[in-house]
Amino acid sequence: MERDDVIIGLEIHLQLNTESKLFCTCSTDYQKEPNTNICEVCTSQPGAKPMAINEKAIEFTVKLAKALNAQVLTEKEIFVQRKHYFYPDLPSNYQRTSMPIAVKGNLNGIRIREIHLEEDPGRYDIRTGLVEYNRCGNPLIEIVTEPDFKSSEETKKFLDKLAILLDYLEITRREEGSMRVDANISLRGSNRVEIKNINSFRGVITALNYEITRQSTLLKQNMKVERETRHFDESQGITIGSRKKETVDDYRYIPDPDLVPIYVTKEYVDSIQLPELPEQKIQRLVETYKIKRHDAEILAQDKNISDVFEKLVKENINSELAVKWLNRDLRKQLNYRSMNFSDSKLKYSDIKQIIVLLSEKKIHEKIAEQMLIELLDKGKTAIKEKLEDEEKISAIIDEVLLNNKKVVEDYKQGNEKAFHFLFGQVMKLTKKLAEPKIVEKLLKDKLDK
Ligand SMILES: [Zn+2]
């Protein structure tokens, strides 16, 4: 939805993939048996004090800040605050959240206001009343953007770019729900609505489109858009108003007296190395493998696919064939399934097998596609073996020869066209999935007998 009177800002929460939690040594693995990765600190037992902040989480925050061209606040005491709210997922009744660690970043033309660290609450199941604290105390990075987005499309482009960047940085978890977004949206200078806890990037776009329609309908009818917090119902794709909007006062922020402030030195920031980022990779692919920039851009959108490309070329696969197949055929099937390469569970050896067969012209593109589809949907492919089953092909050839006695005679009289016709008939009956070379050989053998 393109509108110039829409103003959107985002708060993006990312789960970091540190091994331990933010203020204790419990594992961050929250897929384990409920309430097994917990201790007195992350469940806020009386008298339990937090440990010093997890340094890995600070390192990851600095990495992200540098990748977003943000300015890390060095030589400055950065307090960890207590943000109070009352809900069963939070045993301490407050969430520890740092003051900004970095400010004034930029991604895809969108200004990043600040980046800070905070702890994840646990999970409360409203239907059963059960609470699960394995996630409680896990480190989260929060990225707050300026209200620079003018449409849901622009928001999507930004989030896609961020997701690619995060793939390269390897500092965040990947499972579902590991990125959560709050979106602020207002229309025509009217009241701002906050949509809370959207659990996927795709959900953000659905929620924003719904809200743009809802608010513009209200304004058209001269009705007021309430300033409120709304929740996104992913299953229905709608936002639902909640009665109460917490204000900054409700949270009663105070510096946590149990923690020393975070202090980041300039030397430390300088010492943090970034891995190769998407733009650098694109340039390197173009220079090293002499491929088109556009092709390199598509390859680099999925770090794993671009790694597969490099490995193939290093193993002497023709780079043009590899680019074409990875960017066109593989992407088509992955997009169709809304997957990226790592979700697909495809192995490098699978890809290599297909591309080698293609490059040696042992299979045509249609078989390659069938093989890929089977690998994606069943985890294995037997097509090649099946197609090489000479017995089956042989039976089909016998059938074709029996039904085309006149053509067989023509061939024996030296008519080459007759051979092509018979070959075509066999291929047709194998649904074009047979190995052409095998068909050709078997057919010749039978005819020349
Ligand atoms: Zn703990």
Domain end among 386, 409, 431: 386
Residue 415 neighbours by CB distance under 10 Å: 13
* Neighbouring residues of 207: CB distance < 8 A, sequence distance ≥ 6: 183, 195, 198, 232, 237, 239
Q: How far is ligand 1, taken at its centre, from the CA of residue 37, in Å?
A: 7
Q: How far is ligand 1, taken at its centre, from the CA of residue 21, in Å?
A: 7
Residue 23 neighbours by CB distance under 10 Å: 24
Q: How far is ligand 1, taken at its centre, from the CA of residue 41, in Å?
A: 5
Task: Judge if 400 and 312 occupy the same domain.
Answer: no
For 89-98, which contacts have Cβ atoms below 8 Å and span 24 or more sequence positions?
89/121, 89/122, 89/123, 89/124, 89/131, 89/136, 90/121, 90/122, 90/136, 91/43, 91/44, 91/122, 91/133, 91/136, 92/44, 95/119, 95/121, 96/22, 96/23, 96/50, 96/256, 96/259, 97/142, 98/262
Q: Which is nearest to 207 in space by CA: 231, 179, 241?
A: 231
Q: How far is ligand 1, taken at its centre, from the CA of residue 22, in Å?
A: 9
Digit-coded pLDDT (tens) for 26-39:
999 998 999 999 99
Tell me, what's the pLDDT at 1? 46
pLDDT exceeds cutoff 80 at 306: yes
- What is the domain-level CATH number for residue 412? 1.10.10.410
Tell me, what's the pLDDT at 3? 55
Q: What percentage of the chain exceeds 90 in pLDDT?
A: 70
Q: How far is ligand 1, taken at its centre, from the CA of residue 85, in Å?
A: 20
Q: Which domain does 341 fall in, by range?
A: 278-386
Place of tokens 């896609």: 160
Tell me, what's the pLDDT at 384? 62
Task: Judge if 245 and 256 occupy the same domain.
Answer: yes
Q: How far is ligand 1, taken at its centre, from the CA of residue 31, in Å?
A: 15
Task: Judge if 78 and 67 occupy the same domain.
Answer: yes
8-state DSSP, 178: S
For residues 79-99, average pLDDT: 94
Q: How far is ligand 1, taken at its centre, from the CA of residue 152, in Å?
A: 39
Domain end among 215, 243, 271: 271
DSSP string covering 217-255: HHHHTTPPPP-EEEEEETTTTEEEE-S----HHHH--EE
Q: Is residue 172 situated within a structural domain?
A: yes
Task: Judge if 58 and 78 occupy the same domain.
Answer: yes
Taking the C-alpha atoms of residue 382 and residue 210, their distance in angstroms, rounded to an integer, is: 45
Task: Judge if 259 and 349 occupy the same domain.
Answer: no
Domain end among 246, 271, 296: 271
Q: How far is ligand 1, taken at its centre, from the CA of residue 44, in Å?
A: 9
Q: Is residue 130 situated within a structural domain?
A: yes
Helix residue ranges, H only, 99-244: 152-169, 201-220
Q: How far is ligand 1, taken at its centre, from the CA of residue 210, in Å?
A: 39
Q: How far is ligand 1, taken at its centre, from the CA of residue 135, in Å?
A: 10
Digit-coded pLDDT (tens) for 323-340:
999 999 999 999 999 888
Task: Judge if 416 and 437 occupy the same domain.
Answer: yes
Q: How confident is residue 445, by pLDDT bands cut at 50, 70 and 90?
A: confident
Q: How confident is residue 383, by pLDDT bands cut at 50, 70 and 90?
A: low
Taking the C-alpha atoms of residue 211 and residue 240, their distance in angstroms, rounded to an integer, is: 10
Digit-coded pLDDT (tens) for 132-175:
999 999 999 999 999 999 999 999 999 999 999 999 999 999 87
pLDDT exceeds cutoff 70 at 366: yes
- Which H/E stretch holds residue 293? helix 293-300
Tell me, what's the pLDDT at 387? 57
* Neighbouring residues of 226: CB distance < 8 A, sequence distance ≥ 6: 191, 193, 241
Using alpha carbons, list the distances in angstroms from residue 156 to 1, 220, 247, 286, 398: 11, 26, 28, 27, 57
* Partners of residue 12 on adjacent β-strands: 143, 181
Q: Is residue 153 situated within a structural domain?
A: yes
Task: Judge if 379 and 414 occupy the same domain.
Answer: no
Q: How confident is residue 430, by pLDDT bands cut at 50, 70 and 90?
A: confident
Q: How far is ligand 1, taken at its centre, from the CA of residue 36, in Å?
A: 10
Task: Judge if 172 and 127 occupy the same domain.
Answer: yes
Q: How far is ligand 1, taken at its centre, from the CA of residue 80, in Å?
A: 18
Q: Is residue 1 situated within a structural domain?
A: no
For residues 76-82, average pLDDT: 97
For residues 388-395, average pLDDT: 76
Tell me, what's the pLDDT at 248? 66
pLDDT exceeds cutoff 80 at 301: yes
Q: Is residue 367 situated within a structural domain?
A: yes
Q: How many domains does the chain have?
A: 3
Q: Which is nearest to 299 in space by CA: 326, 329, 332?
A: 326
Q: How confident is residue 319, by pLDDT bands cut at 50, 70 and 90?
A: very high
Q: How confident is residue 431, by pLDDT bands cut at 50, 70 and 90?
A: confident
pLDDT exceeds cutoff 60 at 4: no
For residues 123-130, average pLDDT: 92
pLDDT exceeds cutoff 90 at 367: no
Tell me, what's the pLDDT at 175? 78
pLDDT exceeds cutoff 80 at 391: no
Taking the C-alpha atoms of residue 415 and residue 332, their distance in angstroms, rounded to an integer, is: 42
Taking the C-alpha atoms of residue 24 and residue 93, their distance in angstroms, rounded to an integer, is: 18
Q: How far is ligand 1, taken at its centre, from the CA of residue 46, in Å?
A: 14
Q: How far is ligand 1, taken at its centre, from the CA of residue 75, in Å?
A: 29
State pTM to two decimals: 0.82
Tell me, what's the pLDDT at 357? 87
Identity (one letter) of the amino acid at 121?
A: P
Taking the C-alpha atoms of residue 195 and residue 144, their distance in angstroms, rounded to an integer, is: 14
For residues 205-209, average pLDDT: 94
Task: Judge if 45 and 193 occupy the same domain.
Answer: yes
Most confident of 2-6, 150-154, 196-200, 414-418: 150-154
pLDDT exceeds cutoff 80 at 386: no
Digit-coded pLDDT (tens) for 268-277:
999 999 999 9
Taking the C-alpha atoms of residue 259 and residue 175, their distance in angstroms, rounded to an integer, is: 30
Q: How far is ligand 1, taken at its centre, from the CA of residue 120, in Å?
A: 12
Q: Which is nearest to 9 in space by CA: 161, 197, 207, 183?
A: 183
Q: Is residue 129 situated within a structural domain?
A: yes
Q: How far is ligand 1, taken at its centre, from the CA of residue 29, in Å?
A: 11
Q: How far is ligand 1, taken at its centre, from the CA of residue 53, in Å?
A: 12
Q: Which is nearest to 301 in space by CA: 281, 328, 317, 325?
A: 281
C-alpha 281 chain-centroid distance: 18
pLDDT exceeds cutoff 80 at 2: no
Task: Judge if 382 and 392 occupy the same domain.
Answer: no
pLDDT exceeds cutoff 80 at 422: yes
For the packed helices 390-403 and 405-412, what is the interaxial angle rounded to 10 degrees?
90
Tell me, what's the pLDDT at 183? 96
Q: Is residue 99 situated within a structural domain?
A: yes
Tokens of 81: 């605050």
Q: Is residue 365 situated within a structural domain?
A: yes
Task: Judge if 135 and 61 occupy the same domain.
Answer: yes
C-alpha 205 chain-centroid distance: 15
Tokens of 297: 């851009």
Task: Judge if 109 and 208 occupy the same domain.
Answer: yes
The pairing of beta strand 102-107 with beta strand 262-263: unpaired
